[in-house]
Structure 1
């Protein structure tokens, strides 16, 4: 009996001392950096929660003014870190490259799936599902039968938002016109960091009869939401709950719980439970969702809200079929 208790004690002691000294976590933000009140800030909240619980040192790397992170930046950070967590599709190739250089270090990338690399874990959101709901809501609420979509860069992750938004609007209100614009082409991530241009594009779409615009553009979205406020129209926020940025003019926000994903991924590593490959977050389990709409709920009928809830349940039950490649 004493031997068994002794063995258990040793195992517990080893688990508690898995890190001989406080680990170092390197955090690489998306192109617009912290303070965007969206993509980056949402994930940062989860990282800070993990830091408070596990007491690791945090080093933050924000991309240069060009919105890019260089290989040198990345390897310098990896030299100093035990774990590296990165945001955004822009870091997909660099993550795979640097993970090969540092096989003994753990990498977490949030937004894109990376498979079959032993030291990379990825958190992927079924943004198509949440965007489908946002599009359905816009289809039910629009009075002009014209809505808009403005994306930061023309990359697959943002195009999935666009597709879900279009399909949701068509499901709710067939024939709805969707105006679509991107600030920058694939490979150029500066479109996530240009509120002035976002404002101009939004005002142009509102001038072309759109009364609701879905912004998937990071910090640029703040300019789009300001355009909604000034024009008396609606915007739809993204990633975090942005409803309070223009109370009454943000119809809803399509929330991606990157805070939960970042926290859970870091918690597993700190407890020695690292698992490579992608983990998916969707409507089931509230990995993605619409906001509470507390500033606009009085403008949306109970009938519409019931329809949105029915659609949500149908997606979860797979009664509305969504192919895997629509959110990858």
Structure 2
């Protein structure tokens, strides 16, 4: 049986890897008007530039999550390189630190603060209201204030194409979706994938499960092997860092 894994680094066109890049490339273009006078780019996340233009505040997973934080920071680096802006990253160690770290970013007086996690919304809401002169952006959240840009993505569209590819590739007529933590975003991937499969054929069984974590590689690996044992010859993963274990398992 041939086994294929979609998602992560092995599917180069997969929307999960390009969603942030597409946004930030366009977003940086909009920023260039106000940042045209900036100096050389700063690419090191650990270096604090004298004049920061854009600060990214990660969620508690931080950089190295092989998911949204890394993608967002890669976009910031690209913007720094292409538009000569200074970017900086702040990494809260827990969700309890969101408010203090966003306030830390505010104190550095950048032109824009980007929060990469939807679960940062409530912490950001009050801070944005207290700092109406500051501009903020937050991922996977609708706009929550006059000075906050809510950035959402049609993740289901890329997953739909992956579903079509899976349906056209499967020989066993069994395919799998493995998500990380169940959420609105993860469910969008699952919904799109299932719809794509159904578009091609109605007799393909879709085995859907969530790891329950985006970092538990052991659980993800066991889940992938279980799906393979049950006959899945194509697995579509949207499980963050845990998804690497899915790829390695099969």
TM-score class, shorter-chain normalisation, is: 0.7 to 0.9
Supply the distance in 1 between the matched residues of 2:249 and 2:60 (Cα, whole angstroms): 22
1:213 aligns with 2:241: no
Q: CA deviation at 1:222?
A: 0.8
Whose radius of gyration is greater, 1 or 2? Answer: 1
TM-aligned CA distance change 1:192 to 1:67, over 3 Å: farther
Which is strand-richer, 1 or 2? 1
Q: What is the aligned partner in structure 1 of residue 160 from structure 2?
A: 132
Q: CA deviation at 1:74?
A: 2.4
Q: What is the aligned partner in structure 1 of residue 248 from structure 2?
A: 226
Structure 1 segments unaligned to the other structure (5+ residues): 1-13, 185-190, 229-328
Supply the distance in 1 between the matched residues of 2:241 and 2:103 (Cα, whole angstroms): 26
Residues 156-188 of structure 1: per-residue CA shift (max 9 Å, x gap): 01101111111111111113211122233xxxx
131, 135, 141: which one pairs with 1:102?
131
1:41 aligns with 2:55: no
Q: Bigger CA drift: 216-225 or 193-202?
A: 193-202
Taking structure 1 as the reference length, the TM-score comes to 0.56
Aligned to 1:85, what secondary structure does the other structure show?
Answer: strand
203, 221, 236: which one pairs with 1:199?
221
Q: CA deviation at 1:120?
A: 1.0
Q: What is the aligned partner in structure 1 of residue 176 from structure 2?
A: 148
Supply the distance in 1 between the matched residues of 2:233 and 2:95 (Cα, whole angstroms): 31
Aligned to 1:150, what secondary structure does the other structure show?
Answer: strand
Coordinate RMSD, CA, aligned: 2.6
Structure 2 segments unaligned to the other structure (5+ residues): 1-33, 40-49
- 2:174/2:207 contact within 8 Å kept: yes
Aligned to 1:153, what secondary structure does the other structure show?
Answer: coil
Q: What is the aligned partner in structure 2 of residue 122 from structure 1?
A: 150
Supply the distance in 2 between the matched residues of 1:99 and 1:162 (Cα, whole angstroms): 33
Aligned to 2:202, what secondary structure does the other structure show?
Answer: coil
Taking structure 2 as the reference length, the TM-score comes to 0.72
Supply the distance in 1 between the matched residues of 2:52 and 2:105 (Cα, whole angstroms): 14
Q: What is the aligned partner in structure 2 of residue 113 from structure 1?
A: 142
Residues 30-68 of structure 1: per-residue CA shift (max 9 Å, x gap): 45332344433222222112223444443312242x577
Supply the distance in 2 between the matched residues of 1:141 and 1:181 (Cα, whole angstroms): 20
Q: CA deviation at 1:122?
A: 2.8
